[in-house]
Amino acid sequence: MTTFFDQKEEVLDLELTPYGETLVSLGKFKPEYYAFFDDDVLYDGAYADITESQNSIEPRIQTDTPQLKVQYLFSGLETNLSPQIEAVQALPREVMFGPLRGVDHDVPAWGVDVREEDYATFPPLIDQEYALAEPMGTMKIGSEHAPAWDIKVLQGELSGAINYLTASASGLEGNVKRIPQLDFNLNYKVVVGNVNYFDINGPISTRIISPVYDDGTFLYLTEDRPNLIFSIDELNAAEDTEYEIEVFLVQDGSELPNGETSGPVLKPLLFDKQVQQVVNGILLDAEDQDRRLRLGSRIDASYAEYFFQVNRDLGIPEEVICPLITDLRSRGERIDDIPYNCPDVEEVDRFDIYSSNITSADTEVCEDE
């Protein structure tokens, strides 16, 4: 139960959330940064029908208003624990307990091979909706303007945009946060092919998205996979600002006790970790790297890579992004924030100005009347 601070004796209150306690139990609790929140501060008294002078605002906030201690539980413990138990119970036996004696398994009985993502993966979504919704931000020192997003779409088509996000967790549908939402539509046309009519080792091989079935059929895309490429920059912000990428899967809502259906639920997805070639200062040989790669590549529907590939910063090939940057530059767009060294002029092949590329197939013979 939340209580008030004793202003004569208490100043600071620290509490571990259930997620924090889980990380401590796994030896994974490593705080790296902190954030400030002012959710419980009413700066403008007019919103509470309070008439006051400017000099009285500070003592009202600092002294006259009782301060609640930290609230670290926002949902029932059993509600949060049940999905984790089901996830662990769904793991293969050899992953949970190691290989059985006398049975040849690919997964050795090492504790390090059971990835921590299978256990405490994300903080409960309801905690993020309520407790970690809107931390206080920072801005560039000396700037007269508030931080703002500068987003350039290099490839793809923007279908809609709003400047807010409505919470999706059950019971939180009225919780609105000021997070801009940009909508993009990527359409894939999938058809059925047959090895009797297609050379699966030819140009179509890059567009095949299924195995070849027993009857010789397979699924392939009629066009190359559409890419969504955009540049995101925060203006008027600190120079050393770092960003995190999160991917969520939108799931249908569940049925509530009153018979109604909750809104869509956002399920956070994992990113597959890159296999480290150096562990504890020792370069792993090829066999160890291959073993770690096999054990660390259980890509399923809980990973973002199961659905699409995400490249960031300089991970996008220059031959893909440079033509897009050249197109933006030709239209007068500022692209100094995109860290690619692309040529200013696109090279073209030499051609003979006295020749013609028009063939007989391009012409039509007119008959005399």
| 118 pLDDT higher than 50 | no
Q: Retrieve residue 341's tokens.
A: 């060294």
Cβ count within 10 A of residue 335: 15
Look at strands 217-221 and 165-166 and give their pairing. Answer: unpaired
pLDDT tens per residue across span 300-317: 788 888 888 888 888 888
Q: Of 327, 362, 175, whose CA–CA distance to 263 is shortest? A: 175
Cβ count within 10 A of residue 333: 13
Question: Integer distance in angstroms from the first to the last C-alpha of the chain?
Answer: 99
pLDDT value, residue 84: 65
Task: Give the model's confidence band at 361: pLDDT under 50 very low, under 70 low, under 90 confident, else very high.
Answer: low
- 330 vs 299 pLDDT, higher one: 330
Are 148 and 237 a contacting pair, CB within 8 Å?
no
| 114 pLDDT higher than 70 | no
Indicate the pTM of the whole model. 0.61
- 233 vs 175 pLDDT, higher one: 233
- Mean pLDDT for the chain overall: 75
pLDDT tens per residue across span 278-287: 666 666 666 5
Are 170 and 251 a contacting pair, CB within 8 Å?
no
Written as one letter, the residue type at 200 is: I
pLDDT tens per residue across span 325-334: 888 888 777 7
Q: Residue 106 and residue 291: Cα distance in Å, rounded?
A: 9
Q: pLDDT over 70 for what percent of the chain? A: 67
Q: 72 has which bridge partners?
A: none
Q: Of 186, 102, 153, 141, whose CA–CA distance to 325 is shortest? A: 153
Q: Residue ranges per domain, the chain?
A: 9-121, 190-225
Q: Residue 178 and residue 126: Cα distance in Å, rounded?
A: 17
Greatest mean pLDDT range, 35-44, 251-260, 284-293: 35-44
